[in-house]
Amino acid sequence: MWGPDMTAEEPEAGHQGGGGAHDLLAMLPRLTQLNGAVNRGRVTERAMEAAGVSVDRPAMSVLVALHVAGTPLRVGEIATRMQVVGPHVTRQINELARRGLVRRVTDPDDQRARLIEPTAEGAAATDRYMRTVLGWFSDALAGWSPEDREVFGRLLGRFMDDLTAHLNSFDDDQAG
């Protein structure tokens, strides 16, 4: 665990890095800084306010998951994408449906199942939110070259995919 008394010159015992341990230790404070900047900066809440969207953070996450998917999704798929449990998503969907931001539609592949899709109002609210957040990120990267932006996006995507898969393997180990 990263602590205030650890430095890049003092890797944790047993830490695997293959020569890159110092690089990883140097990254940890930056990852913590990123998390703090996003949370302390209340990015989600400020973007919702700027976009005129009055839902809570978990409900906004449901709308964003649907927006990114670009297609109606089952509750279980939304939960998987959000990395939460289904009942949590169901509560959010019920509230979003009550407010007219999402609706349940029949799954064309299974008439018994329901998919969740945003209504026109929900899609418009999510679009405003996404434009706000992406505008802020774009402003932060304005001084970066197109090549730097491409490399950053590619490596960040790869890191998140690999980290997510690795962390999910912990759940698989406990289940098996």
**Domain locations in the chain as residue ranges:** 21-137, 145-176
Q: What's the pLDDT score for residue 34?
A: 86
Strand partners of residue 117: 103
Q: What's the pLDDT score for residue 6?
A: 40
Write the single-letter amino acid at 77: E
Mind listing the pLDDT tens digit for each residue in 85-143? 989 999 999 999 999 999 999 999 999 999 999 999 999 999 999 999 999 999 999 99
CATH number attached to the domain at 21-137: 1.10.10.10
Q: Considering only CA atoms, which of 108, 111, 96 is closest in space to residue 71?
A: 108
Model pTM score: 0.75
- Which residues neighbour 62 within 8 Å (Cβ) at sequence distance 6 or greater? 78, 82, 89, 92, 93, 96, 102, 116
How far apart are alpha carbons 62 and 73 in whole angstroms? Answer: 10
